[in-house]
Structure 1
């Protein structure tokens, strides 16, 4: 019993809850932690003082020490200060996992500005939305993104862009060979464009604005919603520092000698916290891998650098166990892996643990929770299909439609409270009020809890698709489809896929004059020009009509059920 069954979350104090899950914590994991109220950038500064000569980053063999990384971020802070960027300003960070990402991230924080996370796969339209919504006037961009920000620079919405080349930190001869592998991007000379190496020539600054960790926003993380409009999750310095400490606490046998694989994209909250901020706070070495699809490099890196901790999404682990050469690599150094962003198939967990000898456990989180909120114990009881138990200082209950706590075993909405829960959505007060009630975050996920305090997701947010660990909101894809002149109606659903978890499928009703003239490939190409690759429908089906409710609402659920029936035969 939790002791609060039947009570509303508007009136309960989380301290009233009987945390029945604590008995399943691994030995040494504390249920409560005294979190330091510090700016997020201090994680790097403290480690650089403690381990100045230790390798912080390894990038294609190039090694960067903590002293060098801290100085790079100080120089970027100096550069930003010279532009007049101050506390509260927003700066876009649109890079893959490269050394520039880490240095710029902490440099932005050191001047008191907010890091606006952006996916390098985003199209011009998606980048424009983030720039306009965040009102960021400056940013760091990987070279190949330049054609997509030219318009923003020309219009003056972006005042300056720092262009980062992948080869900047590649050792010889890779730094010479690398550009030959990529299509060369032509960048016009302009006072609005600065190259990373020139930005690094700025005098470093040790000046820091006063930060209120519990109130000042460190990061904007964009997440979708049922409205189809991405929302900027405002994570404070304290939210993120707390989640770093919670994550490190969970891996009870961690040491500064651990080597982390940094392959989860850092622009995503899961990668940012578990594979960048946490290892830096721990004084560990990070092997940076910019392409999460490069399974061969992941295998090589684990073997070469004796990597011990690797956070990823289920598709990564599935790709590793199914790689034709997996047996040729020594993966015995792996001791702990946390899987998130999508359900972890039981068979993938079993085979990965057999191959590595390490532990692979499933966790649960959201951008709104910085992101990790629950997880299976690394060494203790793991329950198949469960997302685990709440992290230290984290409370979770299941509620009914009236907000009242449900008893063990009953299905309702999962709600979470803890130091990692966001401040709110930027410029969206009504949306914030809908999901934050008395400090509780309403996740929108349907769940149940068992007698041991383990939680199970029964159904996800009604319409969200999770493909390869990426969250895709049907409304956003549908809005693009409706822009096509031949489309009269469109619905997008996630259909089961053995590798990606789900695949995006579009159902389309064409205008009479276009029937038989528009192809599936044309629709896919239309989407490719307007959406990031992972959002583009892989399957298209034309129909004469779509299933609808009595009031005319298109029923995505019916379409998905039809697909599942087809698979089951």
Structure 2
């Protein structure tokens, strides 16, 4: 099914119902349908044809949602661009995708001007765009649009999503309308009647990311729900207030946000006012300690899911009322999963291996990368690159990323296992463990830790190592522990471990080149690489890195 069908359906069945709330603005399903048709006519006037690629660089705003559905209404391909990226990173996406047109938020006019100079037509929209021209609120010369066959067009590519690039340059993931619709239908079967048209969704995660794009936008549209949209996570107080005063009852966030909620003192009367809401976590694994605390603290259900861009994105979800600690639940209906060894042979239950996925939600492939597509999708099965195990009830447990696995003297060390133990220490607010090469041990584990505000100066490396040795084998304890102010995260709340590893390796290279030593023993606690230099501010992925004018 073509996803524009859900816009048409909602406009017919609930025309007066509010679809989007943003600041003081209210947009009904009927108004939304009209606006997407108007903008689609304007885009057609600017030369957009079926199969063209149209990029969108904009913060959360009704214009983002209207632009998305106007693009797909024309059977063009929607490309959301991460607003946290730097100029050079955006340029890579534009060069790779070669869009027919760029729709740009006012705050990113510098990139808009650069794209225009490269011959890419630009339209402006969103906040701070009122004085920019041409604007998406322009009036088309004709309102006539070609008819759309929502069944026939279902195999067309709908989205070209560039992966977050935690391990290298981002690749374009091609998702068809059939992929997205199949994923929504599977979620419907798994969650009905817990999720229905009476639910009200809070949207504050950035829509350029595949998790909120599906869970916070496509899903409520599919069910005909109301969405309260916020431009960003900060400030958080209006978001929390909306839970109480506007009776928003579906809260979707990434683990980093839930970790903060787990540590926040919520008075009993606030918990009573919250009522039984649906709290959904995705984007990266939810730590066990956080999950346990939330279950006890928040009324309602805390559900965790698992997915990836290549799977539209949801693969598995905790069934309502049937959670298992540390599990992301069984696979969705119509989605198959296996755990396999290096030869892609299926492993027994409760044995760790690589998780592979097959189903109608699996992507068409990587854009202009046939070799990478062929190595990722084998006989219809998509290799996720995640280490997992499946229990006797079909519940999936994500162990770690295959690329993050650390091997020391032939022994496997899973960084997430160490991180889970670190999170149980009261002083640790955030932790990340990586592996770096070592001349004696193949690899060693290195931990980065952010301490809670009341603990700096009271906890040192020796204390944490002693604590870890009480809870795990000695060979798993990191050889180095570094205390830093911030761990770099991408928009999905995933740790950018590539940046941490590059920092360590750069420090090792510096020592080697400036001491004349042939090698440096990174495991030596007296090594001159400790403490490591702090990550330069311009390399950190924060709100300050946005491409503002």
Normalising by the smaller structure, the TM-score range is: 0.7 to 0.9
- Residue 235 (str. 1) matches residue 188 (str. 2): no
What displacement does 1:229 show?
Answer: 2.1
Query: Do the aligned partners of 2:106 and 2:126 also contact (CA within 8 Å) in 1?
Result: yes
- Alignment RMSD (CA, Å): 3.3
Do the aligned partners of 2:123 and 2:136 also contact (CA within 8 Å) in 1? no
**Structure 2 residue 89 is the aligned partner of structure 1 residue 126:** yes
The question of 1:347 aligning with 2:303 is answered no
Distance 1:204 1:325 in 2: 52
Alpha-carbon contact 2:175-2:310 (below 8 Å) kept: yes
8 Å CA contact 2:377–2:383 kept in 1: the answer is yes
Matched, 1:138 2:101: yes
CA shift, 1:311, in A, is 1.8
Q: Secondary structure, in 3 states, of the residue corresponding to 1:441?
A: strand
Q: Distance in 2 between matches of 1:397 and 1:534?
A: 38
The structure-2 alpha-carbon separation of the partners of 1:214 and 1:66, relative to structure 1 and needing over 3 Å to count, comes to closer
SS in 1 for 2:146: coil
CA distance in 1, matches of 2:160, 2:251: 25
Change (3 A) 1:290 1:214: same
Q: Which residue of 1 aligns with 2:358?
A: 417
Aligned equivalent of 2:491 = none
Please state how far the C-alpha of 1:250 moved relative to its aligned partner: 2.5
Pairwise CA distance, 1:514: 12
Which residue of structure 2 lines up, in the alignment, with residue 555 of structure 1? none
> 1:459 maps to which residue?
400
Counterpart CA distance in 1 for 2:308 and 2:54 is 22
Give the alignment partner of residue 335 of structure 1, picking from 254, 277, 290: 277
**Superimposed CA distance per residue, residues 481-536 of structure 1 (whole angstroms, 9 cap, x where no aligned partner):** xxxxxxxxxx99873557977475322233857999xx9879614525xxx43899
Unaligned 5+ segments in structure 1 are 1-37, 169-186, 475-490, 537-569
Q: How many residues align?
A: 449
The equivalent of 1:163 in structure 2 is 125
SS in 1 for 2:327: coil
Alignment of 1:315-464 (within 5 A): 315-323=256-264, 329=270, 332-380=274-322, 382-463=323-404
Given that 2:106 and 2:124 are in contact with CA atoms closer than 8 Å, whether structure 1 keeps it comes out as no
Return the alpha-carbon distance in structure 1 between the equivalents of residues 103 and 370 of structure 2: 29
Alignment of 1:404-553 (within 5 A): 404-463=345-404, 495=448, 497=450, 502=495, 505=500, 506-507=503-504, 508=506, 509-510=509-510, 524-527=536-539, 532-533=541-542
> TM-score, normalised on structure 1?
0.72
* Distance in 1 (alpha carbons) for counterparts of 2:380 and 2:302: 31
State the distance in 2 between where 1:450 and 1:373 align: 16
Contact 2:199 2:226 in 1 (8 A): yes
Partner of 2:55: 92
Aligned partner (choices 101, 113, 137) of residue 64 of structure 2: 101
With structure 2 as the length reference, what TM-score do the two structures score? Answer: 0.74
Match of 1:432, SS state, is helix
* Larger relative contact order (Cα-Cα within 8 Å, sequence gap ≥ 6): 1
Q: 1:167 to 1:141 in 2, by over 3 A?
A: closer
* Alpha-carbon contact 2:64-2:126 (below 8 Å) kept: no
Tell me the alpha carbon deviations over residues 244-276 of structure 1, each in whole angstroms, 9 at most, x when there is no partner.
Answer: 222233322222121001122211111011110
What is the distance in 1 between the residues matched to 2:378 and 2:164?
Answer: 20
1:277 aligns with 2:212: no
- Quote the residue 2:10 is aligned against: 47
Query: CA 1:523 to 1:372, structure 2 compared with 1: closer, same or farther past 3 Å?
Result: closer
> 5+ residue gaps in structure 2?
406-414, 420-431, 435-443, 453-486, 488-493, 517-527
Shift of 1:458: 1.8
SS at match of 2:253: coil
Secondary structure in structure 2 of the residue aligned to 1:197: coil
* 1:80-113 deviation line (CA, Å, top 9, x unaligned): 1101111100001112221111111100000010
Q: 1:502 to 1:342 in 2, by over 3 A?
A: same
Deviations 1:257-304 (A, max 9, x none): 210011222111110111101101111100001212432122111112
